[in-house]
């Protein structure tokens, strides 16, 4: 960190803090937007009136499915590029990796379980009504409700992780007034 500051003073070209790479930043915000749309849409399915419920399913499932592909890109990007160093204490770094790792895992389990569940119930995904997506399983009533239960439980785990994530960002930005938020902007 001290080295970065020295370089900044001398060259004015390297920022005082390190940011995530541009691909990581773009993927973070696209996935964040999709999740902030998909999660409430999923919750609304149960409350939607009969004549619009299939539209809620279609939008929820089509947006949610995009999360899977972006997350696969994200895992690849994370593998190839190192995230910037944290300046926090060891327990803080540990907490951040647990929450970030949990978010990665939940964001893969969610679309996979949802996709397999809808196929197992006998409703293959027609992406935004355009084309049917190939599935490794067809109608399988035996496992359909287990997959749905995994999807529902993961949805609440994801919400908890999200609350911890946003709480941590707020704490850094408002209480400590440090550079954390700017690392991902
Ligand atoms: C990041 C992606 C996703 C998130 C955050 C998400 C979130 C949710 C939430 C919060 C619910 C309501 C939970 C409940 O009432 O049981 C739900 C329900 C549902 N979701 Fe998703 N979902 C995602 C992706 C998908 C995908 C890709 C599909 C299918 C292609 C899907 C299919 C369903 C179905 C069929 C339901 C109704 C309840 C069930 O049978 O499990 N979801 N989702
Ligand atoms: C909407 C407001 C959000 C804000 C302000 C925000 C802010 C941030 C910040 C500041 C970081 C960098 C933390 C660091 O210094 O290492 C970060 C990383 C991260 N965020 Fe968010 N975030 C938001 C939404 C989300 C959502 C909706 C998700 C996923 C559902 C998410 C998942 C992640 C993950 C997995 C990381 C770790 C970075 C990586 O390795 O890819 N964030 N976020």
Sorted by where each begins, the domain ranges of the chain are 21-184
159-179 burial, b for 16+ CB within 10 Å, e for fewer?
eebbebbeebeeebeeeeeeb
Give me the mean pLDDT over the 123-139 stretch. Answer: 98
pLDDT band at 88 (very low <50, low <70, confident <90, very high): confident
pLDDT of residue 103: 98
Q: How much is the pTM?
A: 0.91
User: What is residue 27's DSSP assignment?
Assistant: H
CATH of 21-184 given 1.20.950, 1.10.10, 1.20.140, 1.10.20: 1.20.950
pLDDT of residue 150: 98
DSSP states of 106-135 as a string? HHHHHHHHHHHHHHHTT---EETTTEEPP-
Give me the mean pLDDT over the 49-64 stretch. Answer: 97
Which ligand 1 atom is nearest residue 125's CA? 30
pLDDT at residue 174 is higher than 70: yes
pLDDT band at 13 (very low <50, low <70, confident <90, very high): very low
Could you tell me if the CB of 154 is within 6 A of ligand 1?
Answer: no
Q: Give the HSE-up count for residue 67: Cα atoms under 13 Å, Cβ half-sphere.
A: 28
Q: Rounded to whole angstroms, how far apart are CA atoms 99 and 94?
A: 9
Give burial (CB, 10 Å; 0-12/13-18/19+) of 107.
buried
Ligand 2 centroid, distance to 151 Cα (angstroms): 22
Give start and end residues of each alpha helix (H) in 121-174: 141-170
């Amino acid at each position: 960190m001290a080295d970065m500051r020295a370089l900044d003073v001398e060259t004015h070209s390297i920022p005082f803090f390190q940011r995530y790479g541009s691909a990581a930043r773009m993927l973070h915000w696209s996935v964040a937007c999709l999740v902030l749309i998909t999660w409430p849409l999923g919750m609304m399915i149960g409350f939607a009136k009969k004549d619009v419920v299939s539209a809620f399913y279609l939008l929820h499932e089509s947006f949610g499915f995009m999360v899977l592909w972006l997350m696969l890109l994200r895992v690849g990007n994370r593998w190839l590029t190192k995230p910037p160093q944290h300046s926090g204490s060891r327990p803080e770094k540990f907490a951040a990796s647990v929450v970030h790792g949990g978010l990665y895992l939940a964001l893969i389990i969610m679309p996979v379980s949802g996709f397999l569940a809808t196929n197992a119930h006998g409703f293959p995904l027609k992406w935004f009504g355009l084309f049917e997506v190939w599935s490794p399983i067809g109608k399988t009533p035996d496992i359909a409700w287990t997959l749905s239960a995994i999807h529902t439980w993961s949805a609440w785990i994801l919400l908890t992780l999200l609350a911890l994530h946003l709480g941590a960002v707020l704490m850094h930005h408002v209480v400590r007034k440090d550079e954390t938020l700017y690392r991902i902007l």
